A and B are shown apart, each in its own frame.
Chain A
């Protein structure tokens, strides 16, 4: 039994502590907004927040999370999250959309740290998030747009 707080709700999970957070979110808690893309931290589709910091859920064992609070795309909220969502929608960033939960979680993490990221800082924060549809140009524009709206 492992205790986890996900999107503000406490859960007791019946799973091996070695189980990746990704599969607990998706298969035990039905939080399917967090996606499986590669399982080896190469694509970022599974990005969630641990105490506000972006992490790859496929490489995060539930036994290692402790008291840290897990936030997923379904539960992320606040000024930065709202700005990111609004920008993503306003620019119609998504295509297939499968990577976009992870992209947005990374972007929210970036903008929470740096109010006005440069292009190089966007590259640094977002290079771990693959978009096979190639929406990078709009992701970059949406991050700048969200930063402007937060200023």
Chain B
């Protein structure tokens, strides 16, 4: 680790840094794995104990008995703050009423994500999974140190001391002490190297409905998001970005902008032209009259339709082989029945409700404080430092509550951090700069879920069993060209492009998964559940088609191919049972009309989710009435937050199923606000029931895994209701007219 830090600190410029990261990724990101726990385990696995227990890094006990748990991750709504604090507090036997949290500073040596190697960051639904043993060991070690200090004070054997609810007791001598009374002496105790962890039956918080720690501050206006940072003397900057990706500033006329009330400065930076004002409204008004000429000679000027047409053309040729078994083509050629399907997926914006923003303040000693929804702290710190020409130890990160992210706050180049730093640099650091992206900036600013096309062929034998499966896809790789390329791209294949397809748990006797990497100039990024956002739709809708072609029940057909995938078949059976699948009323595909049930099951990030959707349709109108979900996330640290994440995943993803798409016309993004990219609204929200599979396996995540199955469950329900097979997203609802 010191080597890594030293390497980052000696980088002279941002450009060199980014190039340097790309060149030295192998050293920087050993073990980095966005794919989550399952893949990590398959690869031999990182040390999830975190090594030597570090109670001092993760818990502070104050004289007033308060227990502060340090949160190394970003909480963008997924509730990990509460879950992480729960894990530590349980092993500590803390009084939950005294538990507080604080976001940890950037320190990859102490706070790296154990599933991302030496990088502090949040993603891949890993927060609970990577912290599980680390925080239990930290809590248990701190508890042992409290006990040891009490044993010394009372001169009694440590083994006779008990701890519960924030109080340390020695029953025989009828003595007790609160944590706060022992904290100072406990801190001087040696840290036990192998603290004894509780057995599952001893947990008092884990597995219970611990109330969210952020509910109060988020219901009285006091929770501070990056957008709410107010530093003394702070100015606000908005940036006019190039209308096309890759465009650069050719000429600026800032006269009118500078004349606007409240505007303080106009500066050109690598990503555009920044208008700096005393407040947000003045900056926005100043930008309206800013005149910039753009050089589009290196810009992406095509329309998304043209890019899509190119994708389809390229799909006619073989791609890189991601996985294969047997002779899929030969098996299909000899099949009794052959099915083919094409699935297209648009670019998607994350559209977190808090637009991107960050504040950077220069301290008198030349160090910098960064206030933001920091999601990959190690990279953000390094990028800010490199941009400002200082070493990383001169940059302090202050992570704030984030108003959603869905992946967008984490970019491999820390884009909006770099932009803020560039403005600070251009203005000499004379005032703290709050960079605010408007909704339009946020939506038109790129880093979308890639546009993707899948083409599938499968052959069935006379009994309806799959004999061969050919699957070819194209999309722009998220990882190629990023600092993560060396770890996540092998032989040109980005594992996040085809995760959830090429590693399907379905027993396919012969298969061939191929990938084409597209290379357009539109920046792409992970979007809540990454590759699974499209692979689950392609897999789960196509399997549904095969089931119908085979004349089989869609649940039974899947279970027949999941005999070696007990956890996935387990949630599928549970969802079907709870939804009353066997007794469901018939849809049109089964002879009914305008009402249907659909099912989907998918594993992502080591978690297993199945859903049954019930829809009614009337012409082009689709109403999703009810979703019954079953999830297996291993030990459920906080069942209520797990349910909330799955409920929320439905609300989040539904609009991407029904209507959301980002399109480009001659390189210009067309959808720029919620009027043309409309999120799910209250009246559309189905009833969501979530059932949690009991488990003794180590916990995995649930921030993302609820998302992938929503689209295919709904698509399959629409088929059941109408007899029309809608494959592409968003669903072509107009295609249902007259059905």
Give residues in A with beta carbon < 8 Å to B: 15-16, 19-20, 23, 26-28, 30-40, 42-43, 45, 72-74, 85, 88-89, 92-101, 104, 122-123, 126-127, 129-140
Contact = CB atoms under 8 A, between A and B. Distances in A.
B345 interface: no
B423 interface: no
Contact of A97 (B211, B223, B685): B223
B230 A96 contact: no
Contacts of A32: 221, 224, 227-228, 230
Contact of A100 (B78, B219, B641, B678): B219
Q: What's the dominant secondary structure at chain A's contact region? A: loop
Contacts of B227: 32, 35-36
A135 to B, nearest CB: 6
Contacts of A137: 647, 651, 685, 687-688
Contact of B682 (A40, A74, A101, A140): A140
Contacts of A138: 644, 647
Interface string B23-38: 0000000000000000
B521 interface: no
Contact of B355 (A26, A36, A97): A36
A99 B353 contact: yes
B353 A134 contact: no
B674 A134 contact: no
A136 B353 contact: no
A16 B281 CA distance: 10
Q: What's the dominant secondary structure at chain B's contact region? A: loop
Given A33-B220, A95-B644, 6 more contacts: A39-B438, A74-B222, A98-B404, A100-B219, A137-B647, A140-B685
B650 A134 contact: yes
Contacts of B218: 94, 97, 100
Interface string B70-112: 0000001111000000000000000000000000000000000
Interface in B560-591: none
21 contacts: A15-B281, A27-B281, A28-B279, A36-B280, A37-B355, A37-B439, A39-B438, A39-B439, A40-B439, A42-B673, A42-B678, A43-B674, A88-B215, A89-B211, A95-B645, A97-B217, A98-B354, A98-B404, A104-B219, A134-B649, A134-B653
B281 A33 contact: no
B610 interface: no
B122 interface: no
A69 to B, nearest CB: 17
Contact of B280 (A27, A73, A85): A27
Contacts of B220: 33, 73-74, 85
Nearest to A16: B261
A123 B649 CA distance: 20
A101 B77 CA distance: 15
B181 interface: no
A10 B438 CA distance: 30
Nearest to A97: B218
Which of B217, B230, B650, B651 is packed against the most chain A CB atoms within 10 Å? Answer: B651
B681 A94 contact: no
A35 B674 contact: no
B76 A33 contact: no
A34 B220 CA distance: 10
B648 interface: yes
A135 B647 contact: yes
A132 B681 contact: no
Given A36-B227, A98-B225, A134-B652, A89 B77 contact: no
B323 to A, nearest CB: 33
A133 B651 contact: yes
B403 interface: yes
A26 B354 CA distance: 14
B353 A45 contact: yes
Contacts of A85: 219-220
Contacts of A139: 682
Contact of A89 (B219, B281, B404): B219
A74 B261 CA distance: 29
Given A132-B404, A132-B679, A137-B687, A101 B221 contact: yes
B263 to A, nearest CB: 13
Nearest to B677: A42
